[in-house]
Structure formats: C-alpha cells, structure tokens
Amino acid sequence: MKIVGIAACTSGIAHTYIAKEKLVTAAKELGHEAFIETQGTIGTEDELTAQQIKDADVVIIAADIKVGGKDRFQGKRIVEVPTHIAIKSPKALLNKIEEEIKK
C-alpha cells in the first residue's frame, strides 16, 4: 500500500514529528511505503510531490488542527485521525485502513 499524509499538532512541534515517524516506521515494518509531510509553526516540511499523491492508495491526515492543502487529495481515499492515534497505534491504524481498502 502506498500512503501519503500530513501530520500536524496544535504546537506544530513534538506530536507532529512523532506522528510522522510512527506512521513511516509502521508502514515500513508492514511492507508499505509512506510519505508524510509536516505542517507546523515552522511551516511545511517534506512537502508531498504531485507524483507521490497520484501514486497513493490512501491519504492519512493525522492532525489536531486544520491543515492546509487538502484540495490536492481530491478523488483520493482520505482517513483523518488525531495525532495520538498515529502515535499510540500506528500499525493498528494501517491494518484497519488496509482492510477497508480491500473491501
């Protein structure tokens, strides 16, 4: 499964980067590929490319705040969760998404 997404928390620091790392690591361990951009107080980092978005099977938005650029994902399956879900249960989240995609 190819995954793209956005991580963003209220302060734009700790939880943003932890959520990104947990999602990328869990995806790799489960045999998936994930690219997660971060949005926070220092702006956008690791901005997703048009090709990454085009190739994606799913978009995960792990955010506690409103994120920008969601219009890029038009026509894609989007899953929105708070950052604590991505941090505490990233593998469970990815497994659930994979099950839903297979239906």
**Residue-wise pLDDT tens digits, 14-64:** 999 999 999 999 999 999 999 999 998 889 999 999 999 999 999 999 999
Q: What is the pLDDT of residue 12?
A: 65
The token duo for 42 is 């220092």
The kind and range of the H/E element at 100 are helix 90-102
Kindly list the domain boundaries of the chain, sorted by start residue. Answer: 2-102
pLDDT tops 80 at residue 90: yes
Q: Catalytic residue positions?
A: 9
pLDDT tops 80 at residue 69: yes
Question: Does the domain at residues 2-102 carry the CATH identifier 3.30.365.10?
Answer: no
**75: number of Cβ within 10 Å:** 7
Q: Look up residue 100 and give its amino acid.
A: E
Share of the chain above pLDDT 90, in %: 88
pLDDT level of residue 10 (50, 70, 90 thresholds): confident
What value does the mean pLDDT of the chain take? 95
DSSP 35: E
Cα separation of 99 and 11, whole Å?
A: 32
Share of the chain above pLDDT 70, in %: 99
